[in-house]
Amino acid sequence: MRPEPKWLRTTIAGIAASLAAGYALVFMAASGNLPPIIDGLMLYGVGVLAATIANSTGMGGGVVFLPAFEYLSTGGHVAIAAAQIVGMSFVIQSFGMTVGSLRWLNHIFGPNDTETNQVTFTRLLVLVLVCSLPTLLLAQQFITSPPELVLYAFKALSIALGLLVLATTWAAHGKVRDRKQPEFVDFAVVAVLSIIGGGMTAFFSVGTGELVALYLFVRQFPLVMTAAIAVIASAANVLVGVWDHIAFGGMPWEVLLFVIPGAVTGAYVARGFALMLGPIRLKVFAASWITLSSAYLLWAA
Protein backbone atom coordinates (compact mmCIF):
# COMPACT_ATOMS: atom_id res chain seq x y z
CA MET A 1 0.00 0.00 0.00
CA ARG A 2 1.38 3.39 -1.01
CA PRO A 3 1.74 6.11 1.64
CA GLU A 4 -0.41 9.18 1.04
CA PRO A 5 1.78 12.13 -0.05
CA LYS A 6 1.77 15.12 2.29
CA TRP A 7 0.82 17.58 -0.44
CA LEU A 8 -2.38 15.73 -1.39
CA ARG A 9 -4.49 16.50 1.67
CA THR A 10 -3.32 20.14 1.73
CA THR A 11 -4.12 20.57 -1.96
CA ILE A 12 -7.59 19.07 -1.59
CA ALA A 13 -8.39 21.24 1.43
CA GLY A 14 -7.19 24.42 -0.26
CA ILE A 15 -9.11 23.83 -3.49
CA ALA A 16 -12.25 22.81 -1.58
CA ALA A 17 -12.11 26.08 0.36
CA SER A 18 -11.67 28.03 -2.88
CA LEU A 19 -14.71 26.33 -4.42
CA ALA A 20 -16.80 27.13 -1.34
CA ALA A 21 -15.75 30.79 -1.59
CA GLY A 22 -16.58 30.77 -5.31
CA TYR A 23 -20.07 29.43 -4.68
CA ALA A 24 -20.58 32.11 -2.03
CA LEU A 25 -19.81 34.72 -4.70
CA VAL A 26 -22.32 33.06 -7.05
CA PHE A 27 -24.92 33.25 -4.27
CA MET A 28 -24.26 36.94 -3.74
CA ALA A 29 -24.36 37.64 -7.50
CA ALA A 30 -27.73 35.89 -7.96
CA SER A 31 -30.76 38.15 -8.11
CA GLY A 32 -33.93 37.56 -6.14
CA ASN A 33 -35.70 36.33 -9.29
CA LEU A 34 -35.01 32.63 -8.72
CA PRO A 35 -36.61 29.89 -10.84
CA PRO A 36 -39.64 28.03 -9.41
CA ILE A 37 -38.75 25.14 -7.13
CA ILE A 38 -39.70 22.53 -9.77
CA ASP A 39 -37.43 24.16 -12.34
CA GLY A 40 -34.73 24.50 -9.69
CA LEU A 41 -34.86 20.77 -8.98
CA MET A 42 -34.71 20.11 -12.73
CA LEU A 43 -31.60 22.28 -13.00
CA TYR A 44 -30.05 20.44 -10.05
CA GLY A 45 -30.78 17.13 -11.80
CA VAL A 46 -29.14 18.38 -15.00
CA GLY A 47 -26.05 19.22 -12.96
CA VAL A 48 -25.94 15.77 -11.35
CA LEU A 49 -26.37 13.93 -14.66
CA ALA A 50 -23.86 16.02 -16.58
CA ALA A 51 -21.18 15.91 -13.90
CA THR A 52 -21.58 12.17 -13.37
CA ILE A 53 -21.04 11.50 -17.07
CA ALA A 54 -18.26 14.08 -17.33
CA ASN A 55 -16.23 13.00 -14.33
CA SER A 56 -16.59 9.27 -14.93
CA THR A 57 -15.68 9.29 -18.62
CA GLY A 58 -13.61 12.43 -19.10
CA MET A 59 -16.20 13.84 -21.52
CA GLY A 60 -16.82 17.38 -20.29
CA GLY A 61 -20.20 18.25 -18.85
CA GLY A 62 -20.77 20.62 -21.74
CA VAL A 63 -21.88 17.71 -23.92
CA VAL A 64 -24.88 17.47 -21.56
CA PHE A 65 -25.15 21.07 -20.36
CA LEU A 66 -25.39 22.75 -23.75
CA PRO A 67 -28.22 20.61 -25.17
CA ALA A 68 -30.04 20.59 -21.81
CA PHE A 69 -29.89 24.36 -21.37
CA GLU A 70 -31.05 24.92 -24.92
CA TYR A 71 -34.02 22.62 -24.33
CA LEU A 72 -34.90 24.30 -21.01
CA SER A 73 -34.66 27.79 -22.51
CA THR A 74 -36.74 27.01 -25.62
CA GLY A 75 -39.29 25.18 -23.47
CA GLY A 76 -39.79 28.25 -21.31
CA HIS A 77 -38.52 26.67 -18.08
CA VAL A 78 -35.69 29.18 -17.61
CA ALA A 79 -34.59 32.31 -19.41
CA ILE A 80 -31.20 31.57 -20.97
CA ALA A 81 -29.89 33.34 -24.07
CA ALA A 82 -27.86 31.43 -26.64
CA ALA A 83 -24.88 33.70 -25.95
CA GLN A 84 -24.92 32.67 -22.27
CA ILE A 85 -24.98 28.89 -22.62
CA VAL A 86 -21.29 28.25 -23.33
CA GLY A 87 -20.25 30.64 -20.55
CA MET A 88 -22.59 28.87 -18.13
CA SER A 89 -21.03 25.56 -19.05
CA PHE A 90 -17.58 26.99 -18.28
CA VAL A 91 -18.71 28.17 -14.84
CA ILE A 92 -20.47 24.93 -13.89
CA GLN A 93 -17.60 22.74 -15.06
CA SER A 94 -15.18 24.90 -13.06
CA PHE A 95 -16.91 23.51 -9.99
CA GLY A 96 -17.91 20.02 -11.13
CA MET A 97 -14.75 19.05 -13.00
CA THR A 98 -12.56 20.42 -10.22
CA VAL A 99 -14.33 18.29 -7.61
CA GLY A 100 -14.02 15.31 -9.95
CA SER A 101 -10.31 16.05 -10.37
CA LEU A 102 -9.79 15.99 -6.61
CA ARG A 103 -11.57 12.63 -6.39
CA TRP A 104 -9.39 11.10 -9.10
CA LEU A 105 -6.19 12.61 -7.64
CA ASN A 106 -7.09 11.23 -4.23
CA HIS A 107 -7.57 7.81 -5.81
CA ILE A 108 -4.37 7.75 -7.88
CA PHE A 109 -2.03 9.23 -5.26
CA GLY A 110 -3.82 7.75 -2.27
CA PRO A 111 -2.92 4.46 -0.59
CA ASN A 112 -5.53 2.29 -2.35
CA ASP A 113 -4.37 2.54 -5.98
CA THR A 114 -1.24 0.47 -6.41
CA GLU A 115 -1.66 -0.14 -10.15
CA THR A 116 -1.55 3.31 -11.78
CA ASN A 117 1.92 4.37 -12.92
CA GLN A 118 2.12 7.82 -11.33
CA VAL A 119 5.08 8.91 -13.45
CA THR A 120 3.31 8.03 -16.72
CA PHE A 121 0.12 9.68 -15.50
CA THR A 122 1.97 12.89 -14.58
CA ARG A 123 3.94 13.06 -17.85
CA LEU A 124 0.83 12.66 -19.99
CA LEU A 125 -1.16 15.17 -17.93
CA VAL A 126 1.56 17.83 -18.09
CA LEU A 127 1.86 17.32 -21.85
CA VAL A 128 -1.90 17.81 -22.30
CA LEU A 129 -1.92 21.00 -20.23
CA VAL A 130 1.16 22.53 -21.86
CA CYS A 131 -0.33 22.02 -25.32
CA SER A 132 -4.00 22.85 -24.67
CA LEU A 133 -3.99 25.90 -22.40
CA PRO A 134 -2.10 28.32 -24.71
CA THR A 135 -4.33 27.31 -27.63
CA LEU A 136 -7.43 27.94 -25.53
CA LEU A 137 -6.28 31.43 -24.56
CA LEU A 138 -5.27 32.36 -28.10
CA ALA A 139 -8.61 31.18 -29.51
CA GLN A 140 -10.53 33.19 -26.92
CA GLN A 141 -8.47 36.27 -27.63
CA PHE A 142 -8.49 36.34 -31.42
CA ILE A 143 -11.42 34.27 -32.75
CA THR A 144 -15.13 35.00 -32.36
CA SER A 145 -18.19 33.19 -33.68
CA PRO A 146 -21.99 33.75 -33.49
CA PRO A 147 -23.46 31.81 -30.52
CA GLU A 148 -26.13 30.14 -32.67
CA LEU A 149 -23.45 28.81 -35.03
CA VAL A 150 -21.43 27.56 -32.07
CA LEU A 151 -24.41 25.63 -30.68
CA TYR A 152 -25.21 24.10 -34.07
CA ALA A 153 -21.60 23.04 -34.57
CA PHE A 154 -21.45 21.69 -31.04
CA LYS A 155 -24.47 19.44 -31.54
CA ALA A 156 -22.98 18.04 -34.74
CA LEU A 157 -19.64 17.54 -32.97
CA SER A 158 -21.35 15.75 -30.06
CA ILE A 159 -23.05 13.31 -32.42
CA ALA A 160 -19.73 12.56 -34.12
CA LEU A 161 -17.98 12.15 -30.77
CA GLY A 162 -20.68 9.82 -29.44
CA LEU A 163 -20.59 7.64 -32.54
CA LEU A 164 -16.79 7.48 -32.40
CA VAL A 165 -16.89 6.33 -28.79
CA LEU A 166 -19.49 3.66 -29.64
CA ALA A 167 -17.49 2.48 -32.63
CA THR A 168 -14.20 2.26 -30.75
CA THR A 169 -15.90 0.54 -27.81
CA TRP A 170 -17.30 -2.10 -30.15
CA ALA A 171 -13.93 -2.52 -31.90
CA ALA A 172 -12.11 -3.01 -28.58
CA HIS A 173 -14.72 -5.33 -27.06
CA GLY A 174 -13.13 -8.36 -25.46
CA LYS A 175 -9.60 -6.97 -25.55
CA VAL A 176 -7.59 -6.64 -22.38
CA ARG A 177 -6.85 -3.05 -21.32
CA ASP A 178 -3.26 -3.62 -20.27
CA ARG A 179 -1.25 -0.89 -22.00
CA LYS A 180 0.79 0.74 -19.25
CA GLN A 181 3.63 2.56 -21.00
CA PRO A 182 3.00 5.09 -23.81
CA GLU A 183 5.15 4.99 -26.90
CA PHE A 184 6.58 8.01 -28.73
CA VAL A 185 3.60 8.03 -31.10
CA ASP A 186 1.26 8.26 -28.10
CA PHE A 187 2.97 11.40 -26.82
CA ALA A 188 2.94 12.92 -30.31
CA VAL A 189 -0.75 12.21 -30.95
CA VAL A 190 -1.78 13.37 -27.47
CA ALA A 191 0.10 16.64 -28.02
CA VAL A 192 -1.65 17.29 -31.36
CA LEU A 193 -5.07 16.38 -29.97
CA SER A 194 -4.48 18.64 -26.97
CA ILE A 195 -3.72 21.60 -29.23
CA ILE A 196 -6.88 20.97 -31.23
CA GLY A 197 -8.85 20.37 -28.04
CA GLY A 198 -7.75 23.66 -26.51
CA GLY A 199 -9.16 25.55 -29.49
CA MET A 200 -12.38 23.54 -29.36
CA THR A 201 -12.78 24.22 -25.65
CA ALA A 202 -12.70 27.96 -26.27
CA PHE A 203 -15.88 27.62 -28.37
CA PHE A 204 -17.73 24.69 -26.83
CA SER A 205 -16.40 24.45 -23.23
CA VAL A 206 -15.35 20.88 -24.10
CA GLY A 207 -12.74 19.38 -26.40
CA THR A 208 -9.44 18.66 -24.69
CA GLY A 209 -10.60 15.96 -22.30
CA GLU A 210 -12.86 14.36 -24.88
CA LEU A 211 -10.22 13.98 -27.60
CA VAL A 212 -7.53 12.79 -25.20
CA ALA A 213 -9.89 10.32 -23.50
CA LEU A 214 -11.05 8.94 -26.84
CA TYR A 215 -7.47 8.32 -27.98
CA LEU A 216 -6.35 6.76 -24.70
CA PHE A 217 -9.44 4.52 -24.69
CA VAL A 218 -8.68 3.39 -28.24
CA ARG A 219 -5.06 2.68 -27.28
CA GLN A 220 -6.36 0.61 -24.33
CA PHE A 221 -4.80 2.53 -21.47
CA PRO A 222 -6.39 1.78 -18.08
CA LEU A 223 -9.77 3.35 -17.30
CA VAL A 224 -8.54 5.06 -14.12
CA MET A 225 -5.59 6.81 -15.75
CA THR A 226 -7.56 7.73 -18.88
CA ALA A 227 -10.52 9.20 -17.00
CA ALA A 228 -8.31 11.02 -14.50
CA ILE A 229 -6.16 12.69 -17.17
CA ALA A 230 -9.23 13.75 -19.16
CA VAL A 231 -11.10 15.09 -16.12
CA ILE A 232 -8.16 17.03 -14.71
CA ALA A 233 -7.26 18.45 -18.13
CA SER A 234 -10.87 19.53 -18.66
CA ALA A 235 -10.96 21.16 -15.23
CA ALA A 236 -7.75 23.09 -15.90
CA ASN A 237 -9.03 24.27 -19.30
CA VAL A 238 -12.35 25.58 -17.99
CA LEU A 239 -10.73 27.21 -14.96
CA VAL A 240 -8.35 29.10 -17.25
CA GLY A 241 -11.04 29.97 -19.81
CA VAL A 242 -13.94 30.85 -17.52
CA TRP A 243 -12.62 34.33 -16.76
CA ASP A 244 -13.18 35.45 -20.33
CA HIS A 245 -16.89 34.67 -19.93
CA ILE A 246 -17.20 36.19 -16.47
CA ALA A 247 -15.60 39.41 -17.73
CA PHE A 248 -18.13 39.50 -20.58
CA GLY A 249 -20.93 39.67 -17.98
CA GLY A 250 -24.62 38.85 -18.24
CA MET A 251 -24.36 35.44 -16.57
CA PRO A 252 -27.68 34.06 -15.19
CA TRP A 253 -26.34 33.47 -11.69
CA GLU A 254 -29.78 32.55 -10.31
CA VAL A 255 -29.81 29.52 -12.65
CA LEU A 256 -26.22 28.59 -11.82
CA LEU A 257 -27.13 28.68 -8.13
CA PHE A 258 -29.10 25.44 -8.66
CA VAL A 259 -26.93 23.70 -11.25
CA ILE A 260 -23.59 24.05 -9.46
CA PRO A 261 -24.59 21.96 -6.39
CA GLY A 262 -25.86 19.28 -8.77
CA ALA A 263 -22.55 19.32 -10.62
CA VAL A 264 -20.64 18.96 -7.36
CA THR A 265 -22.86 16.04 -6.31
CA GLY A 266 -22.40 14.28 -9.65
CA ALA A 267 -18.66 14.87 -9.59
CA TYR A 268 -18.38 13.34 -6.14
CA VAL A 269 -20.18 10.10 -7.06
CA ALA A 270 -18.70 9.81 -10.57
CA ARG A 271 -15.55 7.90 -9.65
CA GLY A 272 -17.49 5.16 -7.91
CA PHE A 273 -19.99 5.11 -10.77
CA ALA A 274 -17.17 4.65 -13.29
CA LEU A 275 -15.51 1.85 -11.35
CA MET A 276 -18.87 0.12 -10.81
CA LEU A 277 -19.90 0.10 -14.47
CA GLY A 278 -16.48 -0.63 -15.92
CA PRO A 279 -15.10 0.84 -19.15
CA ILE A 280 -17.42 -0.88 -21.65
CA ARG A 281 -20.83 -0.18 -20.10
CA LEU A 282 -19.71 3.28 -19.01
CA LYS A 283 -18.69 4.34 -22.51
CA VAL A 284 -21.81 2.87 -24.10
CA PHE A 285 -24.04 4.70 -21.61
CA ALA A 286 -22.32 8.06 -22.04
CA ALA A 287 -21.99 7.85 -25.82
CA SER A 288 -25.62 6.80 -26.28
CA TRP A 289 -26.92 9.68 -24.18
CA ILE A 290 -24.75 12.24 -25.94
CA THR A 291 -25.56 11.00 -29.44
CA LEU A 292 -29.32 10.68 -28.99
CA SER A 293 -29.84 13.96 -27.14
CA SER A 294 -27.77 15.97 -29.61
CA ALA A 295 -29.41 14.29 -32.61
CA TYR A 296 -32.86 15.17 -31.23
CA LEU A 297 -31.95 18.82 -30.67
CA LEU A 298 -30.32 19.06 -34.09
CA TRP A 299 -33.48 17.60 -35.69
CA ALA A 300 -35.80 19.83 -33.64
CA ALA A 301 -33.89 23.04 -34.39
User: Each residue's pLDDT tens digit in the chain (301 positions)?
Assistant: 667 778 888 888 999 999 999 999 999 988 777 777 777 888 898 888 888 877 776 666 666 776 677 777 766 667 677 678 788 889 998 998 999 999 889 888 887 777 788 899 999 999 999 999 999 999 998 877 666 676 677 777 778 877 877 787 776 665 555 677 889 999 999 999 999 889 888 887 888 888 888 788 778 788 788 889 999 999 999 999 999 888 877 788 888 998 999 999 988 888 777 777 776 777 777 677 767 767 766 776 5
Whole-prediction pTM: 0.85
- pLDDT on residue 251: 84
HEC-encoded secondary structure of the chain: CCCCCHHHHHHHHHHHHHHHHHHHHHHHHCCCCCCCHHHHHHHHHHHHHHHHHHHHHCCCCHHHHHHHHHHHHHCCCCCCCHHHHHHHHHHHHHHHHHHHHHHHHHHHHCCCCCCCCHHHHHHHHHHHHHHHHHHHHHHHHHCCCCHHHHHHHHHHHHHHHHHHHHHHHHHCCCCCCCCCCCCHHHHHHHHHHHHHHHHHHHHHCCCHHHHHHHHHHHCCCCHHHHHHHHHHHHHHHHHHHHHHHHHHCCCCHHHHHHHHHHHHHHHHHHHHHHHHHHHHHHHHHHHHHHHHHHHHHHHHC
- pLDDT on residue 237: 95
- pLDDT on residue 185: 94
- pLDDT on residue 66: 67
